[in-house]
Amino acid sequence: MIDFRYHLVSIIAVFLALTVGLVLGTTMLQDPLLDTLQNETADLRGQTEDLRSERDVADRVNAGADQMVDAASADMLDGRLEGLEVVVVQAPGADADTAASLGERVEEAGGRIAGRVEIAPEFVDPANTAFVDELALQVSADAGSLSGSGPYEKAGIEIGRALARAPEPDEEEDEAEEEDGGGAEEGGHDPASALAAFVEGGLLTVRGEPAGRSDVVVMVSPSSAEQAGRDDRETVNTVLTAFVSALHDRVGGLVLTGDVPSSHGHGMIAQARAQEADFATVDMAGRPMGDIVAVLALAEDIDGDGGAYGVGEGVDGFLPDPLPEPRETADTEPSPEPSDGLDEARRVVPGGE
């Protein structure tokens, strides 16, 4: 039978073993362990310094590239959007400075900002989905054509229709309109009234007078900083991507711009590229290089060849290659070729009347 003395001896033996282990650990193993930790710390510190130096060099290279591209922007953008009316559309949480700098590049390329449309946060609020759907049906001149489309696709179709420039009528149509007394567009659709309905519904803010004037659209996606940590990021960007796809079908040329992080994960540009959207995307907006590439991508998308450009995931390249050619506007007449007088001389027949 085990008595108390046996338990006492066992407990003393355990504590003695622990004491011996601690003594050995703090004497025999102390120096090698400390040396190892110090060496690893020194290595990590060296790697950190190397990475910091590489980052500083990369920042200087990028800053220099922006300066160089900025200096060459006049030649790169000259005439690429000549004669086009452009509407800038800002998603909820889009960076206002980015939208402004893109507008400046559009004008540098010969385009004209017809107006700006800011999408309100209420537009993408799940609680307003039914309202968005109902409003799109109310403003539509042909509600039956919207059947089968989701609420935000319907909204994209109708807002795009309200923004898009109506095709120029020929002379016979002009005469017919004069006989009929003019009026709204075919089917009684009034672009300004349709756009105003979304404004009055608290879904949009409109600056300028873009209704019925847009040839192409620059869409600015939500900034990654604004969406950081939001649980509904994926849902919001899915909704906006559906809206932009429908908008593009109506207005023709469109480029979706955003920062580099928006091309990763659940970012809006990442979702558009994953769905193989047929409009152009650029993921470097907000810096000179990105804004210039965005204008070039927009000029390319006018012909239906929009690609994915930048440095993020799923790009076709850094910028369009070859670059889109400058546009020739209808009021630009080719200069007559210089004449040396020989043609006139040939028209004069000796002895003729």
Amino acid (1-letter code) at residue 254: L
Residue 312 in this model has a pLDDT that exceeds 80: yes
Q: CA separation (Å) from 195 to 118, 140, 161? A: 12, 11, 9
Which of 269, 336, 340 has its CA nearest to residue 308? Answer: 269
Pull the structure tokens for residue 107. 């004008």
pLDDT band at 351 (very low <50, low <70, confident <90, very high): very low
Coil, helix or strand at residue 282: strand
- In this predicted structure, the answer to whether residue 61 has a pLDDT above a threshold of 90 is no
| Band (5; pLDDT cuts 50, 70, 90) | low
Question: Whole-number mean pLDDT of the chain?
Answer: 82
Distance CA 232, CA 319 (A): 31
pLDDT grade for 68, boundaries at 50, 70 and 90: confident
Confidence of residue 45 (pLDDT cuts 50, 70, 90): confident
pLDDT of residue 232: 86
Task: Report the distance separating Cα 146 and Cα 155, nearest Å.
Answer: 10
Q: Indicate if the pLDDT at residue 340 is higher than 70.
A: no
Q: Which range among 30-34, 118-122, 232-236 shows the weakest confidence by mean pLDDT? A: 30-34
Q: What is the pLDDT averaged over residues 136-150?
A: 87
Over 80: is that where the pLDDT of 77 sits?
yes
pLDDT of 333 above 50: no
Predicted local confidence at residue 31, as pLDDT:
65
Q: Mean pLDDT lowest for which of 35-39, 224-228, 254-258?
A: 35-39
Confidence at 332, pLDDT banded by 50, 70, 90: very low
